[in-house]
A = this chain, B = another copy of it.
C-alpha cells in the first residue's frame, strides 16, 4: 500500500521528559502535566508520550524552567512568576497583583494577543509557552491574628514571594521565603505570622487552620494565575505539524481541565475548613486600597525601566479595563443575586 509509509512518518515515536515544578501531593496542579500526557498518548495510540517528573526528581521545582530552557528536558510545567527575580516580565504570563481573573486572563491570552506577546518574550529564553492550567483566584492566606488596618501589616512576617512580597514590604510587612513543608511549624511556633499558599483544596491538606485560623481573601496578587507548559523551543519546532496541532489542542484542554477540577474541589474543601474552625475574613477596603496603590508604584517603576514588561503590561491593562466594565453587568449581577439567596438560605 502506498499510504502506509506516509502515515508512519506522520506518527513518529516521540518521548519527552517534563519537569514539573510541583510535588505530587498537589494533585490538582501537578496533575496538569499528567493530564496533558494522557491526552497526547491516547490520541496517538501511545506514539507521542510525555514522562512527567515531580519537583526534585530531575531538578528542584524552581529550576524546572531552566531545565527546559537549556534542553536538559524537553518541557516543564511551572508558574512563570517563579522567575520574577530573573525578569518580572515572566510574571505577566502567570499573574500579577490586581490584574485579571481567570476568565479575563484566558480571554486575553487566547484572543487578546497574550499568548503571542508572552512567546515573543519567552523566545529570548529559548522557550515556547502554552497556558497549562489555572487555579482561579487564590486566597490571601492564613494569619495568626486579624489584620484590620494597614498598621497591622507593620512588621508582619508573611511567607509570600515575588511581586506580592515586593508590594507588601512597601507597607511595612516582612516577606519570608519558606519551603512548603516548613510553613506549618513556623506558623505554630510563631516564627512567622502568616502564610499564603493556594486555595481551600490545597490549603486543607497542610492543616494551617489549626495554627493560623484567620483565612483572608482575596489573594489580590493572583486573581486567576495561569500555570504554563514551557517547551524547549527547538524541540517544539521539530515536531511534525500534526503533533504540533495536537499539542496545542491538548494543552488547551488540559488548561481548562485544571480550573474545572479546582472549581469542583475548592467549594467542598472550603465548607470543610469552615466546619473545622477556619475563620473567613475579607481584607478590609483600607488594606486593599493601600496594596493597590503600592502595586501601582511598582508597576510605574517597571514601566519606566523594562520595555518588555511595559509592552505586555499595556496590553493586559487594556484588557482589564474592558473586562471590568463588562463583568459588572450580567456576570456579576447574576452571581450577586445567587449569593444573596445563599446568605438568605433560600438557595
Question: Residues of A with Cβ closer than 8 Å to B?
Answer: 1, 3-5, 7-8, 10-11, 39, 42-45, 98, 101-104, 106-112, 136-140, 199-200, 217-220, 223, 241-242, 245-246, 249-250, 252-253, 255-257, 259-261, 263-268, 270-271, 280, 282-283, 285, 288, 292, 319-339, 341-342, 346-347
Cα(A5)–Cα(B45), bound, Å: 14
B260 and A110 contact, CB distance less than 8 A: yes
Contacts of A102 in B (CB 8 A): 103
A106 and B260 contact, CB distance less than 8 A: yes
Q: 10 new A-B pairs (CB below 8 Å) besides A103-B263, A106-B256?
A: A1-B8, A7-B8, A42-B249, A102-B103, A111-B261, A266-B326, A270-B325, A271-B322, A282-B333, A283-B333
A325 and B1 contact, CB distance less than 8 A: no
Cα(A156)–Cα(B245), bound, Å: 50
Protomer copies: 2
Contacts of A282 in B (CB 8 A): 329, 333
B45 and A242 contact, CB distance less than 8 A: yes
Contacts of A246 in B (CB 8 A): 42-43, 246
A270 and B329 contact, CB distance less than 8 A: yes
Contacts of A266 in B (CB 8 A): 326
B324 and A347 contact, CB distance less than 8 A: yes
Q: How far is the CB of A342 from chain B (nearest CB, A)?
A: 4
Could you list 25 examples of A-B contacts with CB < 8 Å?
A: A4-B5, A11-B11, A103-B103, A103-B259, A106-B256, A107-B260, A110-B257, A110-B261, A111-B263, A138-B330, A139-B329, A140-B330, A218-B331, A253-B256, A266-B326, A267-B326, A280-B329, A292-B337, A320-B347, A321-B342, A324-B335, A324-B342, A327-B335, A328-B339, A328-B342
